[in-house]
Amino acid sequence: MPPLTYLMALSAAIFAIGVLGFLTRRNILVMFMSVELMLNAVNLAFISLGSRLGTMDGQVIVFFVMTVAAAEAAVGLAIIISVFRGRETVHADDLTMLRW
Amino acid sequence: MPMALFWFLAAVSLISALGVVLQRNPVHCLLALIVTLLTIAVLFIGEDAIVVGFLQAIVYGGAIMVLFLFVIWLLNLGAEVGPTGHLALKFFGTIAVAAMAAELMGFVLPPHLQVKFAGHAAGYGSIDSLAQKLFSEYLVAFEVTSLLLLIAVVGAVALARRASASELAERAAAIAAQRAR
C-alpha cells in the first residue's frame, strides 16, 4: 500500500487544482465542477486516513459527503437552469442581480 | 495496491483534474472530471473501502455526472471563444493557490503523519461493517440526510419548473401596475 503521506499529498494537489478552477474559470458550470473536484479530494483524504487508523468512520463520512454533493448538484443545477432562462448566460460576470 | 499502480492512478487523476480546469469546452471538462472520479474510486478500493469505492463510481461518476451532462446539453453550451476571464484574477489566483498548495504539502509531507499500519481486520470496508456503523452510531445523521434529500428534490422542482400561464399574467399585471404608479 502507498504511504499515507503520498495519498494525502495527492488529495492536497487535487484540492488545490479545484480551488484554482473555481477562482479562474468564469463559466458557472465549470466552477461547479471544480467544487466537485474539491469535494472528492477531501473524500480521498477521509478514506485514506480512516483506512490507516483502522476505523470505518471515514467511510461513513464519505457516504454523507456524497449525499450532500448529490443534493447540492440537484439544487445548484436547478438554479443555473432558472437563471439561464431569464438571462441566457452562464458567465459568472454577467450575473449581477444580487449586486447592490 | 502496488506502488506502480498508485503512481499511475495519481498521474491520471492529476492530469485529468488539470483537464477540468484548463479546457474550454464544458463537455470536455466534464469528461475529464469523470476520469478523475473513477481513478479516485479505484484509489478508494485500493484502501479497502470497497463499498464506498463502488458507490463513488456509480453514484458520483454515473448519476451526478449524467445530471451535469444533461444540463450542459439543455443549455446548449459550446466551447468558450476568445479570451475568457480576467488576467489579473488568473495571475493572483494562481499565486494564491500555489501558496495554499505549498502550505498543505508542508502539513502532509513531514513524517509525523506516518501511522503504524498492520493490515485491516477481516470485513473492513464491507457492506455490513458500513451498515453497522451507519445504523447505530450515525443513525440520526442518516435520518437527517433523508430529510435533506427530500428538501433538495422539492427545491429543485420548485426552482426549475416553468411558471404557469396564470402566474405569468399575474406577474405582468404587477409590473404594469408598478409602471403606472
Residue-wise DSSP of A68-79: HHHHHHHHHHHH
Please tell me the predicted confidence (pLDDT) of residue A87.
79
Q: Is the pLDDT of residue B111 over 80?
A: no
**Candidates A16, A19, A52; nearest CB to B115:** A52
ipTM: 0.92
The answer to whether position B131 is within a domain reads no
Is residue B29 located within the same domain as residue B76?
Answer: yes
**Domain that residue A32 falls in:** 4-90
The answer to whether position A96 is within a domain reads no
Whole-angstrom Cα distance, residue A25 to residue B82?
13
**Candidates B13, B33, B160; nearest CB to A33:** B33
Q: Is residue B83 very low, low, confident or very high in pLDDT (cuts 50, 70, 90)?
A: low
Is residue B35 located within the same domain as residue B105?
Answer: yes
Enumerate the residues of chain B whose CB falls inside 8 A of the CB of residue A3. Answer: 114
Q: Is residue A44 very low, low, confident or very high in pLDDT (cuts 50, 70, 90)?
A: very high
Is residue B59 located within the same domain as residue B30?
Answer: yes
Torsion angle of the four alpha carbons B78, B83, B84, B86, in this order, in degrees rounded to the nearest 10? 180
> Percentage of residues in chain B with pLDDT exceeding 90?
47
Is residue B76 located within the same domain as residue B98?
Answer: yes
Is residue B142 located within the same domain as residue B119?
Answer: no
Whether residues B67 and A37 touch (CB distance < 8 A) is answered with no
User: Does A1 lie at the interface with B, CB-CB under 8 angstroms?
Assistant: yes
User: Does A27 lie at the interface with B, CB-CB under 8 angstroms?
Assistant: yes
Q: What is the pLDDT of residues A50-98, one digit of tens each?
A: 998 888 899 999 999 999 999 999 999 998 888 888 878 888 888 877 7
Amino acid identity, position B119: G
Q: From the CA of A94, how many Å to the nearest CA of chain B?
A: 12
Whole-angstrom Cα distance, residue B102 to residue A38?
16
Q: Is residue B9 very low, low, confident or very high in pLDDT (cuts 50, 70, 90)?
A: very high
Is residue B19 located within the same domain as residue B79?
Answer: yes
- Considering only A13-22, B92-101, B162-171, which range has the smallest mean pLDDT? B162-171
Q: How many domains does chain B have?
A: 2
Higher pLDDT, A89 or A7: A7
C-alpha cell at B122: 477481516
What is the pTM (predicted TM-score) of this model? Answer: 0.88
- Span B139-152, average pLDDT: 94
Task: Tell me, rounded to whole angstroms, the distance of Cα A32 from its chain centroid.
Answer: 7
What does residue A27 show for φ and ψ, rounded to 5 degrees? Answer: -80, 120
- Span B54-59, average pLDDT: 92
User: Best interface-test mutation with A: which of B60, B120, B150 has the largest number of A CBs within 10 A?
Assistant: B60
Q: How many domains does chain A have?
A: 1
What does residue A91 show for φ and ψ, rounded to 5 degrees? Answer: -85, 125
Is residue B177 located within the same domain as residue B94?
Answer: no
Nearest to A20 by CA among B95, B47, B34: B95
Q: Is the pLDDT of residue A43 over 80?
A: yes
Whether residues A59 and B156 touch (CB distance < 8 A) is answered with no
- Span B72-95, average pLDDT: 81
Is residue B142 located within the same domain as residue B54?
Answer: no
User: Best interface-test mutation with A: which of B31, B71, B162 has the largest number of A CBs within 10 A?
Assistant: B71
Q: What is the pLDDT of residues B125-142, one digit of tens each?
A: 888 999 999 999 999 999
Q: Is the pLDDT of residue B78 over 90?
A: no
Q: Is the pLDDT of residue B162 over 90?
A: no
User: Best interface-test mutation with B: which of A19, A63, A65, A88 has the largest number of B CBs within 10 A?
Assistant: A63
Enumerate the residues of chain A whose CB falls inside 8 A of the CB of residue B63. Answer: 70
Alpha-carbon distance values, B98 to A26, B94, B105, B164 (Å): 20, 6, 10, 49
The answer to whether position A100 is within a domain reads no
Higher pLDDT, A22 or B179: A22
**Domain that residue B158 falls in:** 138-181
Is the Cα torsion angle B162, B168, B172, B177 positive or negative in sign?
negative
